[in-house]
Amino acid sequence: MTAVPSAALTTAGLIGGYSVARATGNRPLGGAVLAVFGAAAFETWRRRSGLGTAVALTGAYVGAFGLAHPLAEKIGSWPAVLGVTAATAALAVAAGDRTEE
C-alpha cells in the first residue's frame, strides 16, 4: 500500500476545513476536518520522522491555521488559506517526509 504524503494530508486539512466551514456555515465542522487530517499527518510524521518532528510540524500546522485568520483580513480568505497551505506543505515535505515507511 502506498503511503500518503503528509503534505497531501495538511493540504486536505487546511483547504478542506476552510471549504467545509465556508460551504456549510458550520465552523466547528470545518474544525473537525482540520483536526482529523491534522491527526493523520501527526501520526505519519511520528512514524516517519519521530515524535519531536511530529510535535513541531503539528505546531506549524496549527499555527498556519491561526495565521490564516489575520492574514485573510489583509489579502482575502482564499489567498490566505492557499498561502499558509503552500507553506505548510513545503515544510511537511522538507521535514516530515524525509524517511519512507
Task: Report residue 97's pLDDT band, with 50, 70 and 90 as the boundaries.
Answer: confident
Half-sphere exposure (CA, 13 Å, Cβ side) for 29?
8
Nearest Cα neighbor of 12 from 35, 28, 45, 43 is: 35
Could you tell me the residue ranges of all domains in the chain?
Answer: 6-96
What proportion of the chain, given as a percentage, has pLDDT over 70? 93
What pTM was estimated for this model as a whole? 0.91
Q: What pLDDT does 101 receive?
A: 45
- DSSP state string for 1-61: -PPPPHHHHHHHHHHHHHHHHHHHS-HHHHHHHHHHHHHHHHHHHHHHH-HHHHHHHHHHH
